[in-house]
Amino acid sequence: MILKAAVRVGKLYQNPVPTSVGGASTLLKVLALYISNKAERTPKRQLGPFHTDPRVYETPPASGLRVTWFGHSSSLVEIDGVRILLDPVWDQRASFVEWAGPKRFFAPTLPLDRLPRIDAVVISHDHYDHLGENTIRRLAGLPSMSEAQWITSLGVGKLLIGCGVNAEHIHELNWTEDLSVGPLRITALPARHFSGRGLFGRFQTLWASFVLAGPKHRVYYGADSGEWDGFAEIGRDYGPFDLTMLEIGAFDPLWADIHMGPDGAARTFQSLGGKGLMMPIHWGLFDLALHAWRQPIERIFSIDGVKVFSPEPGMPTEVCPGVEVRSKWWR
């Protein structure tokens, strides 16, 4: 396996390996399972409130690496003096409308206008749970974002421009392409997933994972992906990683090609080298599957051989070598 740029057939981007994303037959199966499903897919009680103290950001992390997880895949990564905002979604729903669709389990931990100065925003792909249109519109007009670079996958820039982002600050990357933000090198790499913001238009923009490589620390942001054999090469060529951020939620055997789930995340962590800490993402905020909302984190906590970094939502937390963080906020 050789990591390489994404290719298109006609107007459609292709996955790095053959991948099924499901069609009408999958929808029918999901509907039948949805009707009979008895799992606690949403919390029975109100979660939080969780709060982020913005004064924390006035002091750089002593370790050089600090992460604030805002829920699902949205995070602020402070790495070697650079602040990177990953897939920010402050929207009430992960949906194309504001009155229907998956609703947040808890409120944002910090108003957008209380965020510290941001150096770059990384948008992995255009799905609603990774690109919140209302969030982008708000961010685009904030003074703290005036110099921020927007780094995303091929084709997504048009959406960002439509949300008010300065076109001169947008950088679309193909797989294996990179960009420097201060001392940090950000590289887009393949993921096994798909794109599209509706029933039509799938695969017309690209999706990606990202490596954040600073002078002293390295972070792998897996975004959304099913398992595939390229992870070993990513770990060999771009690791070892101090922190590996991998999705654990919104999974099901029916769509295993595009979402790895907790067991897949544990295997992927080992494929990437198994070094440092594994941070579970893509869980705990939206109902996007048939499993119980706590099932992914309960499962990843039970797997031996994985050092887990899972802080409370909104809590800026330093990443220290070998030091696990296993917050039980979800209990």
Q: Is residue 8 part of a domain?
A: no
Q: Is residue 262 part of a domain?
A: yes
Report pLDDT for 131.
98
Q: Is residue 25 part of a domain?
A: no
Q: Which residues contact 67 (CB under 8 A, 6 or more apart)?
A: 75, 76, 77, 78, 243, 279, 309, 311, 316, 317, 319
CATH of the domain at 125: 3.60.15.10
What's the whole-model pTM score? 0.96
Two structure tokens written together for 92: 């009430």
Domain count, the chain: 1
Report pLDDT for 23.
66
pLDDT digits over 160-200, tens only? 999 999 999 999 999 999 999 999 999 999 999 999 998 77
Report pLDDT for 98.
86
- Domain with 87 in it: 47-326
pLDDT digits over 89-114, tens only? 999 999 988 899 999 999 999 999 99
User: Is residue 45 classed exposed, middle or buried when 0-12, 13-18 and 19+ CB atoms within 10 A define those classes?
Assistant: exposed
CB 171 within 8 Å of CB 162: no
- Distance in angstroms (rounded) separating the CA atoms of residues 165 and 127: 18
Report pLDDT for 314.
98
Q: Is residue 34 part of a domain?
A: no
Q: Which residues contact 53 (CB under 8 A, 6 or more apart)?
A: 316
Q: Is residue 255 part of a domain?
A: yes
SS3 85: strand
Q: Is residue 296 part of a domain?
A: yes
Residue closest to 210 by CA, chosen among 311, 106, 87: 87
Residue closest to 228 by CA, chosen among 52, 86, 17, 33: 17
